[in-house]
Amino acid sequence: MKILLRISFAFALLLSVAVGAQAQSSGYTTGIGFRGGAASGLTIKHFIKSDAAIEGIISTSFKYRGTVITVLYEKHAQAFNAKGLQWYYGIGGHVGFYDGRYYYHRGHDHYDDDVFGVGIDGVLGLEYYIRDIPFTIGADIKPYINIPRGGGYWDSALHVRYVF
């Protein structure tokens, strides 16, 4: 778990000090905040072009007692001709570490193994940039497929980011 925290910190630091920022159509270059949903956690988004961003998500799921690191490439476009409102969609992947768990069922002790998972993610969302207070709020749907165990799933969430 300590290695995971170190990797996460290094990833966040790398994105937050990225150089070569230019004027963005979104109105900001980097945003750091919280994502709340089925898998809640920290999110950081950095624009690499005026209409493209890389987003990193470090999330946890209390149901499965694990941590997932997701990286997404996202394209942005203005939504409904409203200033500060943007659609975004993208694709990426995730790596997850899930702790085994103990449970008691019908008079027997059971133990699940620790699980390491990888998968493919998509994202479709809507984000609003509040210029007076440098924050964004948004909502998205993130379908994903776990490759080792198969199966498709949905993760929807709300997020709030401080932007600079």
| CATH at 142 | 2.40.160.20
Residue 1 falls inside a structural domain: no
User: What is the pLDDT, as a whole number, of residue 42?
Assistant: 97
Residue 15 falls inside a structural domain: no
User: What is the pLDDT, as a whole number, of residue 18?
Assistant: 41
Is the pLDDT score of 153 beyond 90? no
* Owning domain of residue 125: 32-163
Residue 14 falls inside a structural domain: no
Give the total residue count for the chain.
Answer: 164
> Beta-carbon neighbour count of residue 38 at 10 Å?
14
Sign for the CA dihedral angle at 49, 95, 92, 122 comes to negative
User: What is the pLDDT, as a whole number, of residue 48?
Assistant: 96
**More confident call, 115 vs 41:** 41
Residue 10 falls inside a structural domain: no
Q: Residue 99: which residues within 8 A CB-CB, separation 6 or more?
A: 65, 66, 114
User: What is the pLDDT, as a whole number, of residue 152?
Assistant: 82
Residue 90 falls inside a structural domain: yes
Residue 4 falls inside a structural domain: no
What tokens were used for 100? 């085994």
User: What is the pLDDT, as a whole number, of residue 94?
Assistant: 94
Q: How far is CA 76 from CA 5, 24, 79, 129, in A?
A: 30, 11, 9, 13
Residue 8 falls inside a structural domain: no
pTM > 0.85: no
Is the pLDDT score of 34 beyond 70? yes
Provide the pLDDT confidence category of residue 27 given band limits of 50, 70 and 90.
confident
Report the alpha-carbon distance of residue 113 to residue 55 in Å, rounded: 30
pLDDT tens digit sequence for 91-149: 999 998 877 665 566 676 656 667 778 999 999 999 999 989 999 999 999 999 988 76
pLDDT tens digit sequence for 43-97: 999 999 999 999 999 998 766 678 999 999 999 999 998 889 999 999 999 998 8
Residue 22 · residue 140 · CB < 8 Å: no
Give me the number of domains the chain comprises. 1
